[in-house]
Chains A and B, each alone.
Chain A
Amino acid sequence: MSVETEGLGRIFRVARDKPPVLALQDVTLSIPAGSTHGLLGPNGAGKTTLTRILATLLVPTSGHARVDGADVVSEAERAKARLGLVLGGERGLYSRLTARENVRLWASLNGLSRAAARRRTDESLDRVHLDPTSWDRRTEGFSRGMLQRVHLARALVTAPAVLLLDEPTSGLDPIAAYEFRALVRELRERGTTMLLTTHDLAEAEALCDEVSVLHRGVIVAHGTPAQLRRALGDQLVVEAPSAGPAHADRLAGIAARHDAVLEWDNTTARLTCADERVAGQVVTELVAAGLVQLTSRTPSLEETYRSLLSGDGAYR
């Protein structure tokens, strides 16, 4: 396994007069070499805490974590040498240095000789498809998308066994995010082991072999994106795109009678039904209500995710 955690826990004691905050609780994960693992969860779920523990920036209060066989606490230096870390956002680079200087600095700080640092820097910048005319420009004028490419090149320059990507597309415009995902997909195809934390379920579905859903520091679901969807049993989603406020009461009644979950997206009503039989009864009533333009499908990962965290957040 490239990344392993066993009963990992982390408690933050913010102040003496305040109760401790439980950020992670009994997190056990195994990420095989060459796979991409997605870590999903809302803000405050514990994703960044887990990433920081694996990056040796935080010590856990219980349990163990290993990166490529190195314990992140007792063998932190060995673990660091096997890791590449990419943080989301604009920070993490010296804005007064050029892209090439930034990447070369991190290569040298990780012990690469001058010649190796120079060679690997050019390889990394090339690998992330940063326009060569930008290599010798200061990063202070870079777009978010360009900055994120430099971040990735910086993390790749040491040829790490494991890449930790902490919300790497956060704040990127859709095109930059799409291009960054394409880069991650390329790395995945080359067999790089990655842990990707994200809010974006479509991103996790597109890039990850397996996904863990964290909520309030606890893994509430784990599996392939398809398995997570199946975790909700035979649920079916019935959508009525042309429904409007005039149908609201009627639809609420149908949902209540059949124990379906009703959600609205503008004028589209979405009813999540327990199984195919219930979905059939719902469709019959919707047609009787005058809604003939209907579609049915299996839930998307996003709907699965919302369902997993619904109510008190317990896995249902």
Chain B
Amino acid sequence: MRQSFWASAALQVRLLTRQPDSVAPLLVTPLYAIALFGFLHHSGKSSVGSSVFVASILMTLWSTVVFVGADMVDDDRHEGVLELVEASGTGYLTFLAGRIATAAALTSPAIVFVSLLAWLFGVRVPVHSPAVLVLDVLGSWACCVGVGIALACLLAMSRSARNYQNVLTYPFYVLGGILVAPSALPAHLGAVAPVVFLSHSAAAARAGLTGTGPQWAPLGWLYLLAVLHFGIAVLAVRYVRRRLKVLGTASYA
């Protein structure tokens, strides 16, 4: 299983580096960061600098996982390798986990890039608790892997995974409390935020940077959701595999 995981991770690195356009989300979201920092610079509201910083990084992480997950399914279907992976000795779960974990980990340069942009725009981003930030990054990465696997399974059942890419990004930036804190959302929308891991990830990051607000409660929720997401991912993979074996196809279309 370990060999399969690392082989899948190495595969993902090779595929991403050989098709540079597949890492487009890594470039697009920092462009949003430029716009957001630009607004911030002109409005003079430097107090929300940390929130913009966190939002840019989480948007990069989430969009990468969604886009890479969808592209992965489409590409594997196009290349005709989905079935061969199933016929190989490795588990499909390990294969997806290796690839999505790698894709999520490869977003880490975005932290450096967004930090650089913040510095260029004169936005000071304090670091109050590095430990909370490190735990937050790891928890968010784990959640992304779980969600990414489940999404890949969901998208494998659709005719074109790409159609769902946009649907699964921008609404989550709002509902997940990335762009606007859940407390600032209308009550019925704010109630949805706690089930989206991004809201806890953003809350822990803001607390880790500024020292305001609870730090450990959002982290606790984040790790709890990581376990939950991974459980859902396991069930989703089982469902798709069973569907493939019983119906002869994973797709509903």
Contacts and interface: CB of A to CB of B under 8 A. Distances in A.
Contacts of A91: 78-81
A283 B80 CA distance: 54
A255 B251 CA distance: 52
B14 A111 contact: no
B84 A108 contact: no
Contacts of B84: 85, 87, 92, 106
Given A108-B4, A108-B6, A92 B81 contact: yes
A56 B87 CA distance: 6
A52 interface: yes
Interface stretch (B102-110, B147-155, B224-232, B240-248): B240-248
Contact of B3 (A77, A96, A114, A138): A114
Given A12-B247, A91-B80, A95-B79, A80 B3 contact: no
Q: How large is the interface on A (under 10, 10 to 19, 20 to 34, 35 or more residues)?
A: 35 or more
A92 B84 CA distance: 7
Q: Which of B7, B14, B19 has most A Cβ within 10 Å? A: B7
Contact of A83 (B14, B87, B248): B87
Interface in B58-98: 78-81, 83-90, 95
- Closest 8 interchain pairs by CB? A91-B80, A108-B7, A110-B89, A109-B90, A96-B18, A109-B88, A92-B80, A59-B245
A95 B8 CA distance: 16
A83 to B, nearest CB: 7
A96 B19 contact: yes
A290 B246 CA distance: 62
23 contacts: A49-B248, A56-B245, A81-B89, A83-B87, A87-B80, A87-B84, A91-B79, A91-B80, A92-B79, A92-B80, A92-B81, A96-B14, A96-B15, A97-B15, A101-B14, A106-B84, A108-B3, A108-B6, A109-B7, A109-B88, A109-B90, A111-B3, A112-B3
Nearest to B75: A94
Contacts, number: 85
A292 interface: no
Interface in A70-118: 77, 80-81, 83, 85, 87, 89, 91-97, 101, 105-106, 108-114, 117
Interface of B: 1, 3-4, 6-8, 10-11, 14-15, 18-19, 78-81, 83-90, 95, 244-248
B19 A106 contact: no
B79 A94 contact: yes
B15 A94 contact: yes
A94 B248 contact: no
Given A92-B80, A108-B3, 4 more contacts: A87-B84, A95-B79, A96-B19, A111-B90
Given A77-B89, A85-B84, A96-B15, A59 B4 contact: no
A58 interface: yes
Nearest to B247: A12
B4 A57 contact: no
B245 A93 contact: no
Interface string A26-49: 000000000000000000000001
A205 B19 CA distance: 44
A55 B4 contact: no
Contacts of A77: 89
Contacts of A97: 11, 14-15, 18
B115 to A, nearest CB: 32
A12 B245 CA distance: 11
B89 A59 contact: no
Contacts of B245: 56-59
Contacts of B6: 108
